[in-house]
Chain A
Amino acid sequence: MKVSSEILDVEEGVDPQIVLANERYSIIGEILCDVYEPGHAKWRWSDSLDKVFLNRYLGLPIFLVIIWSMFNFTFQASAVFMAIIEAIFEWIGSYTSQIPIPWLASLLTDGVIGGVGFILVFVPPIMFMYFAISVLEDSGYLTRAAFVMDRIMVRMGLQGRSFIPLLLGFGCTVPAIMAARTVDGESNRLTTILVSPLMSCAARLPVYVLIAGVFFPDIAGTIVFMLYILGIVMAVSMALVFKRTIFKEESTPLLMELPMYQVPTFHGSIIHMWERSSIFLKKAGTYLLAGAIILWFISNTGPGGFGVPVEESFVSILGHFFEPIFAPLGFNWQIVAALIFGLLAKEVVVEAIGIIYAVQGEAALAGALAASITPISAIALMVFVLLYTPCIAVIGTIRKETGSNKWTVFSVAYQIVLAYVAALVIVVVGGLLIG
């Protein structure tokens, strides 16, 4: 950086801080010329990789291709394992359904296996996705992805630093919201908190895998990729909307450390994958198990008492009550009920669908689902799940981090409205395209 002398010659109107910064860098440059003799190894290699990955025009397409490959890998690699786990639970189910006590047989078969067992089928894709993310992280690419996004966001007048918390949102929204503390400026921080839930977290993956697998088995990876991209696009656009309307504050440039590219170690990636997946497994063994039992119970209980058909249960009453609101989207009462329970956690959506259909006596869930909603409604359903309030833990975290009930309510409300509107747009536009 040998700019100082020229800049100093410019008279008035120059920011003295920049003049001094330039002066310091020119001294540093001069000292380095004196004492530093570059070698010729890894960084050269790393730098030339950056020339491609961080290229102004290629950076974004490369990012998209890498993420797309990641989801396709996730699907193709996990399919076989999912089939195995499914077969195992089917096998266990064939025994539990033989238990002579009917209510216990139903609890174990429809509730525990239909709910928790059904969720566990989605452990392989979650594990493979975490594995892929760990590889990207350890190789040093993920930081570059943040850098590429930062450039785009800053050009749109957004705080680039926000993208790092948002990237965390791919794993789980709760740490993403907490990481918003690193964002400069109160309004930038609030914006980040408000849009973080729109990034698709791992808990939403089972819903996509289930629905995309049933309706679009050949292009499931691409569908999930597009949902993730939609999440990013929505987060950025909503940030822009908030910026223009509610908050108005300047952005400061992002100074980011780009680590050297490294070949990720298999061992390291496995450890990362296991750490994150075990959290999911723990959740499945505790909250989701409890949820499954409760869901099973209220699917079997209605005003008429225990053991009523599912159509007369509390779940059905709840689903039917809200069904008219979702009628334009083409969701049936079973899905509406699952979405309502999904406010607790996104895994519950899949769990609830599994239990309700199981109690209903549908053996093949895939066929039952395919018969009950149209493919366009299925896309709308995935988009709705992507955009509406992720889970109760996120609501709690937002309350804690903003310290404001007003912002918490606003966050929940705007996401539900956004999810509904986006799903409606898909149904209407999709209907026009096909019809």
Chain B
Amino acid sequence: MKISVALIGNPNVGKSVIFNNLTGLKQHTGNWPGKTVEMKEGNFTYKDQEFEIIDLPGVYSLSARSEDEEVARDYLIDNRPDVVVDILNASQLERNLYLALLLIELQVNLVIVLNMYDVVEGRGDKIDIERLSERLGVPIVVTTATKKEGMDELKEAILRAAPNHVAAKLAGAADTTEEQHKPGEDPKRNHLHYHPKLHHHGQYERLRPPAIKYSNRIEKRLKQIVMILDSEPELMERFPPRYLALRILERDPDILSLIENQELKDALLEVTL
């Protein structure tokens, strides 16, 4: 069984260069089902472990306002890749970290890459990588993709970040749950969903507690929302709860349209900032 990896990052951070460095010639390009957005997939092997890697479109956020963002967000939610690699332009940390925070909200298994590190060094800036990794609760790899620097370290970090249950399966447990689908394969199910039963690990994924907490005021609202949602196990199964609560707090129309129970919806909308 392969470990599935998704590459994501802002536009122009060298994402494609890293993708090419990792996969070499073992890649192919297609289109996302029903979308004009390009999709690149590839494979690589590291320490006898096979990885399948997908290059998500370059985005600044995951608000699904453009087709690119929609594709990236749906892929992360629907397919729950084993490891998500967020590539940052190390010389533009402030803006690039925004997407990283959104991915932390999604509670994915994240690896952060600080690419274009030569620019940072050339400029004489100093980044305390260890401290940054600690603050974000995410392993960080430093690369200069154009010079192919840091690629082995990145592969190692991806391998380490792969969740335990995947590792267990690699150890020999048979994969029994073949019933899985990806967005677009089944038009009736082409929607935002996070359904462990359809999820290709065949079990509930254990979500890591988020390292980044917002202000008390916001966290309190999130707890309130999660408590209200507790009576709706179906929704809670679909999305990581913290992510779900944040989107409801933000009044995300896609998520709100999934809530059919009007009473519940009203109760949720009463929680305001």
Contact of A20 among B66, B127, B132, B249 (CB under 8 A): B249
Interface presence of B208 (CB below 8 A): no
Contact between A40 and B97, CB atoms less than 8 A apart: no
Question: In the complex, which residue of chain A has the Cβ closest to the Cβ of B13?
Answer: A257
Q: Across the interface, which residues of A come within 8 angstroms of B125, CB to CB?
A: 36-39
Given A36-B125, A252-B65 in contact, is the A16-B249 Cβ separation under 8 Å?
yes
Encode B119-136 as 1/0 by CB contact (under 8 A) with A.
Answer: 100111111110110011
Q: Size of chain B's interface in residues, with CB distance under 8 A? A: 39
Contact between B273 and A36, CB atoms less than 8 A apart: no
Contact between A39 and B126, CB atoms less than 8 A apart: yes
Q: B96-155: which have CB < 8 Å to A?
A: 97-98, 101-102, 119, 122-129, 131-132, 135-136
Contact between A27 and B131, CB atoms less than 8 A apart: no
Contact between B98 and A25, CB atoms less than 8 A apart: yes
Interface presence of B43 (CB below 8 A): no
Q: B214-232: which have CB < 8 Å to A?
A: 214-215, 217-218
Q: Across the interface, which residues of B come within 8 angstroms of A42, CB to CB?
A: 122-123
Q: Across the interface, which residues of B come within 8 angstroms of A24, CB to CB?
A: 98, 101-102
Interface presence of A6 (CB below 8 A): no
Interface presence of B91 (CB below 8 A): yes
Q: Across the interface, which residues of A come within 8 angstroms of B272, CB to CB?
A: 12, 16
Q: Across the interface, which residues of B come within 8 angstroms of A263, CB to CB?
A: none
Contact between A31 and B97, CB atoms less than 8 A apart: yes
Contact of A23 among B63, B66, B131, B215 (CB under 8 A): B215
**B interface residues, Cβ below 8 angstroms from A:** 10-12, 36, 60, 63, 65-66, 91, 93-94, 97-98, 101-102, 119, 122-129, 131-132, 135-136, 212, 214-215, 217-218, 246, 249-251, 272-273
Q: Across the interface, which residues of B come within 8 angstroms of A17, CB to CB?
A: 63, 250-251
State the CA gap A25–B212 with chains docked (Å): 12
Question: In the complex, which residue of chain B has the Cβ closest to the Cβ of A257?
Answer: B12
Interface presence of A432 (CB below 8 A): no
Interface presence of A367 (CB below 8 A): no
Q: Across the interface, which residues of B come within 8 angstroms of A38, CB to CB?
A: 123, 125
Q: Across the interface, which residues of B come within 8 angstroms of A37, CB to CB?
A: 125-128
State the CA gap A34–B101 with chains docked (Å): 16
Q: A206-264: which have CB < 8 Å to B?
A: 252, 255, 257, 259-260
Question: In the complex, which residue of chain B has the Cβ closest to the Cβ of A14?
Answer: B273
Contact between B250 and A41, CB atoms less than 8 A apart: no
Contact of B246 among A20, A34, A41, A43 (CB under 8 A): A20
Contact between B273 and A35, CB atoms less than 8 A apart: no
Q: Size of chain A's interface in residues, with CB distance under 8 A? A: 35
For residue B135, give the distance in angstroms from its CB to the closest CB of chain A.
5
10 shortest interchain CB distances as A-B pairs: A39-B124, A37-B126, A35-B128, A39-B125, A35-B132, A41-B123, A28-B97, A35-B131, A39-B123, A24-B101
Question: In the complex, which residue of chain A has the Cβ closest to the Cβ of B249?
Answer: A16
**A interface residues, Cβ below 8 angstroms from B:** 4-5, 8, 12, 14, 16-17, 19-21, 23-25, 27-29, 31-32, 34-43, 181, 184, 252, 255, 257, 259-260
Contact of B251 among A16, A27, A34, A257 (CB under 8 A): A16
Q: A8-B215, A260-B119 are in contact. List 9 more A-B contacts (CB 8 A).
A: A5-B215, A8-B217, A12-B272, A17-B63, A20-B249, A31-B132, A34-B128, A36-B128, A257-B10
For residue B241, give the distance in angstroms from its CB to the closest CB of chain A.
17
Contact of B124 among A28, A36, A40 (CB under 8 A): A40
Contact between B217 and A184, CB atoms less than 8 A apart: no
Question: In the complex, which residue of chain B has the Cβ closest to the Cβ of A19?
Answer: B273
Contact between B127 and A35, CB atoms less than 8 A apart: yes
State the CA gap A14–B217 with chains docked (Å): 15
State the CA gap A259–B116 with chains docked (Å): 13
Q: Across the interface, which residues of B come within 8 angstroms of A255, CB to CB?
A: 60
Question: In the complex, which residue of chain A has the Cβ closest to the Cβ of B36?
Answer: A181
Q: Across the interface, which residues of A come within 8 angstroms of B217, CB to CB?
A: 8
Contact between B123 and A257, CB atoms less than 8 A apart: no
For residue A28, give the distance in angstroms from its CB to the closest CB of chain B.
5
State the CA gap A257–B95 with chains docked (Å): 10
Question: In the complex, which residue of chain B has the Cβ closest to the Cβ of A12?
Answer: B272
Given A8-B215, A12-B272, A36-B125 in contact, is the A43-B91 Cβ separation under 8 Å?
yes
Q: Across the interface, which residues of A come within 8 angstroms of B66, CB to CB?
A: 184
Contact between A31 and B135, CB atoms less than 8 A apart: yes
Q: Across the interface, which residues of A come within 8 angstroms of B132, CB to CB?
A: 31, 35
Question: In the complex, which residue of chain A has the Cβ closest to the Cβ of B66?
Answer: A184
Contact between B101 and A257, CB atoms less than 8 A apart: no
For residue B79, give the distance in angstroms from its CB to the closest CB of chain A.
25
Given A23-B218, A257-B11 in contact, is the A36-B65 Cβ separation under 8 Å?
no
Question: In the complex, which residue of chain A has the Cβ closest to the Cβ of B61?
Answer: A21
State the CA gap A34–B130 with chains docked (Å): 11
Q: Across the interface, which residues of A come within 8 angstroms of B63, CB to CB?
A: 17
Q: Across the interface, which residues of B come within 8 angstroms of A12, CB to CB?
A: 272
Residue with the highest number of chain B CB atoms closer than 10 Å, among A12, A40, A43: A43
For residue A166, give the distance in angstroms from its CB to the closest CB of chain B.
19
Question: In the complex, which residue of chain B has the Cβ closest to the Cβ of A40?
Answer: B124
Q: Across the interface, which residues of A come within 8 angstroms of B124, CB to CB?
A: 39-41
User: What are 26 A-B residue pairs whose CB atoms fall within 8 Å in the complex?
Assistant: A4-B215, A5-B215, A8-B215, A12-B272, A16-B250, A16-B251, A16-B273, A17-B63, A23-B215, A24-B101, A27-B101, A27-B214, A28-B97, A29-B94, A31-B97, A31-B132, A32-B94, A34-B128, A34-B131, A35-B127, A37-B125, A38-B123, A43-B123, A184-B65, A184-B66, A257-B11
State the CA gap A38–B217 with chains docked (Å): 32
Q: Across the interface, which residues of A come within 8 angstroms of B131, CB to CB?
A: 34-35
Q: Across the interface, which residues of B come within 8 angstroms of A260, CB to CB?
A: 91, 119
Q: Across the interface, which residues of B come within 8 angstroms of A32, CB to CB?
A: 93-94, 97
State the CA gap A37–B131 with chains docked (Å): 13
Question: In the complex, which residue of chain A has the Cβ closest to the Cβ of B12?
Answer: A257
For residue B111, give the distance in angstroms from its CB to the closest CB of chain A.
17
Question: In the complex, which residue of chain B has the Cβ closest to the Cβ of A5?
Answer: B215
State the CA gap A40–B120 with chains docked (Å): 11
Contact of A36 among B11, B36, B127, B246 (CB under 8 A): B127
